């Protein structure tokens, strides 16, 4: 007989655990860039126009609830990324085709306008210099969150640290194939001269197929699984030192949501599916734990960070993420580094309980990706590290709106329109 669990506690990450439950953005997905000046065809999942241009009258009321310094620091990382891109690269967003130099110019202009405008002037100055586009058209987006976990660990196998984290296997192979004119990356291994899928989570764990490839050990298989969900974290070692544990690759298998599985089986009500509720269920039902965890065939491999005292999270754009500013998007729908204005809501905590929800309105940047972040209707906000980040990221399963900014044709790089006013009240 099934036991139905009901939980009142706060969450930890809903991001991938319940991916696909909302239905937002699942049938949309795939646009962006290529080289040689050609624009990659838009796939059916992204839709013909994942971002819709807005008139000035329809533009959002711009206000930012975080400090300016954090946004400028994150924006500089996007600028650095585009400074490295090849000149022939072309991306399309909001019906506008832009070369890498034009994207860079747009970012430089955005930095100037943001830096030199007062809070009262910022909205009008942005509208004058940028085409504003709403992500996902008239639909809301789904906003979730992720964070950097801190975990007790050992570099040697000794009780209670007996559950391994593995390095990228030497026999894992990536190869490029072409289907209908599109390049695809396949991950697998060669078996008797034939290419086949790489082992699943069940095969790796039950068969102990990667013995000898361990790089660290945790004290709980559920913690191992959730670290796979986050993709990276910090290891608090027994000698008091801290090491980063970083994403190195995956087995290429499709992600399967165990939160969705538990909801479909009636174990946990859908609206109460969170990391704490899943963790509690798994620890109270040990006879089901392995089956549930191995439902997700995807497996993540790691590498240890350098012992340099730097413990930030590096996103898929190749830059360290900024808490509250960096976000994961579907990179097939939106180009890296683009600034956007996010409207949603965030939790306010009294102890471990949510006491209220308040508006979240701020500029964010597309600087990361995730296996569950698919389609133009998804955004995963990075909350940083620590207990507050964990709690906030865990309950973020909110509707929101997102607006992109692209430099209007004719605007010079880094030079606002003549009518734009600076914080000193003079023409910029």
- Per-position DSSP letters for 249-296, written without gaps between them: EE--PPP--HHHHHHHTTSS-GGG--HHHHHHHHHH-HHHHHHHHTTS
- Same domain, yes or no: 267 and 400: no
- Same domain, yes or no: 221 and 364: no
The residue that leads in pLDDT, 35 or 111, is 111
- Same domain, yes or no: 90 and 121: yes
- Which of 273, 304, 335 corresponds to the end of one domain? 304
Residue 89 domain flag = yes
- Same domain, yes or no: 142 and 154: no
Residue 296 CA from chain centroid, whole number: 19
Q: What are 60-73's pLDDT values in tens digits? A: 788 899 999 999 99
- Which of 248, 274, 304 corresponds to the end of one domain? 304
Residue 428 domain flag = no
Residue 174 domain flag = yes
Q: By the 8 A CB rule, do 374 and 45 touch?
A: yes
Name beta bridge partners: 75.
Answer: none
- Same domain, yes or no: 62 and 162: no
What's 167's domain CATH number?
A: 2.40.240.50
The residue that leads in pLDDT, 15 or 300, is 300
- Which of 246, 273, 304 corresponds to the end of one domain? 304
For the chain, what is the mean pLDDT? Answer: 83
- Same domain, yes or no: 370 and 288: no
Q: Which residues contact 327 (CB under 8 A, 6 or more apart)?
A: 340, 342, 364, 365, 366, 367, 368, 379, 380, 381, 382
Q: What are 391-427's pLDDT values in tens digits? A: 899 888 899 999 999 888 777 655 565 555 443 332 2
- Same domain, yes or no: 133 and 170: no
What span, in angstroms and rounded, lies between the C-alpha atoms of 267 and 260?
Answer: 10
Residue 284 domain flag = yes
Domain of residue 155 covers 150-304
Least confident of 3-17, 39-53, 242-256: 3-17
Return the CA Rg of the chain.
22
Residue 12 domain flag = no
pLDDT at 131 over 60: yes
pLDDT value of residue 49? 57
Q: What are 26-52's pLDDT values in tens digits? A: 222 222 232 233 443 334 466 655 677
Percent share of the chain, pLDDT over 70? 81
Residue 374 domain flag = yes
Residue 103 domain flag = yes
Q: What is the mean pLDDT of residues 352-379?
A: 91
Under DSSP, is residue 57 helix (H, G, I), strand (E, B) or coil?
Answer: helix
In terms of Cα–Cα distance, which of 21, 13, 316 is closest to 142? 21
Q: What is the pTM for the complete model shown?
A: 0.79
Least confident of 8-22, 96-110, 121-135, 209-223: 8-22
Domain count across the chain:
2
Instruction: DSSP letter for 19, please.
Output: T
What's 127's domain CATH number?
A: 2.40.40.10
Neighbouring CB atoms inside 10 A of 268's CB total 22
pLDDT value of residue 177? 84
- Same domain, yes or no: 254 and 281: yes
Instruction: DSSP letter for 142, please.
Output: E
Q: What are 168-197's pLDDT values in tens digits? A: 999 999 998 877 767 788 999 998 889 999
Q: What is the mean pLDDT of residues 194-211?
A: 96
Q: By the 8 A CB rule, do 46 and 332 touch?
A: yes
- Same domain, yes or no: 95 and 162: no
pLDDT value of residue 420? 53
Q: By the 8 A CB rule, do 67 and 110 touch?
A: no
pLDDT at 4 over 50: no
Residue 310 domain flag = no
CA angle at residue 334 from 72 to 366, to 5 degrees?
25
pLDDT value of residue 37? 39
In terms of Cα–Cα distance, which of 266, 252, 127 is closest to 189? 252
- Same domain, yes or no: 294 and 369: no
- Same domain, yes or no: 159 and 282: yes
The residue that leads in pLDDT, 277 or 208, is 208
Least confident of 61-65, 208-212, 270-274: 270-274
Q: By the 8 A CB rule, do 255 and 247 touch?
A: no
pLDDT value of residue 428? 26
């Amino acid at each position: 007989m099934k036991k139905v669990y009901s939980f009142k506690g706060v969450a930890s990450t809903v991001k991938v655990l319940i991916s696909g439950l909302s239905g937002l953005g699942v049938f949309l997905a795939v646009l962006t860039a290529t080289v040689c000046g050609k624009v990659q065809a838009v796939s059916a999942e992204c839709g013909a126009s994942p971002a819709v241009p807005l008139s000035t009258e329809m533009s959002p009321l711009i206000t930012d609830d975080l400090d300016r310094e954090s946004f400028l620091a994150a924006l500089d990382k996007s600028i650095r990324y585009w400074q490295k891109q090849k000149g022939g690269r072309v991306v399309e967003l909001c019906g506008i085709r832009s070369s890498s130099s034009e994207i860079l110019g747009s970012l430089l202009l955005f930095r100037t306008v943001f830096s030199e405008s007062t809070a009262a002037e910022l909205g009008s100055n942005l509208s004058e210099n940028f085409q504003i586009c709403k992500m996902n058209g008239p639909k809301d987006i789904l906003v979730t969150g992720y964070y950097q976990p801190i975990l007790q660990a050992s570099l040697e196998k000794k009780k209670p640290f007996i559950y391994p984290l593995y390095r990228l296997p030497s026999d894992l192979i990536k190869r490029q194939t072409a289907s209908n004119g599109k390049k695809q990356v396949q991950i697998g291994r060669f078996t008797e001269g034939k290419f086949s899928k790489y082992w699943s989570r069940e095969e790796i764990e039950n068969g102990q197929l990667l013995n000898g490839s361990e790089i660290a050990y945790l004290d709980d298989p559920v913690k191992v699984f959730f670290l796979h969900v986050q993709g990276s974290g910090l290891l608090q070692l027994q000698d008091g030192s801290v090491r980063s544990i970083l994403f190195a690759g995956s087995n290429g298998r499709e992600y399967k949501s165990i939160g969705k599985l538990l909801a479909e089986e009636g174990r946990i009500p859908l609206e109460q599916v969170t990391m704490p509720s899943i963790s509690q269920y798994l620890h109270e039902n040990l006879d089901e734990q392995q089956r549930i965890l191995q439902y997700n065939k995807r497996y993540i491999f790691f590498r240890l960070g350098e012992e340099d005292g730097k413990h930030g999270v590096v996103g898929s754009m190749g830059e360290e993420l900024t808490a509250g500013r960096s976000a994961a998007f579907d990179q097939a729908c939106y180009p890296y580094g683009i600034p956007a204005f996010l409207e949603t809501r965030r939790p306010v905590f009294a102890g471990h309980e949510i006491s209220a929800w308040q508006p979240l309105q701020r500029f964010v940047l597309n600087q990361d990706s995730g296996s569950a972040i698919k389609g133009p209707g998804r955004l995963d906000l990075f909350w940083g590290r620590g207990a507050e980040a964990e709690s906030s990221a865990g309950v973020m399963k909110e509707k929101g709106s997102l607006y992109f900014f692209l430099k209007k044709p004719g605007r010079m790089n880094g030079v606002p329109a003549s009518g734009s006013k600076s914080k000193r009240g003079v023409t910029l």
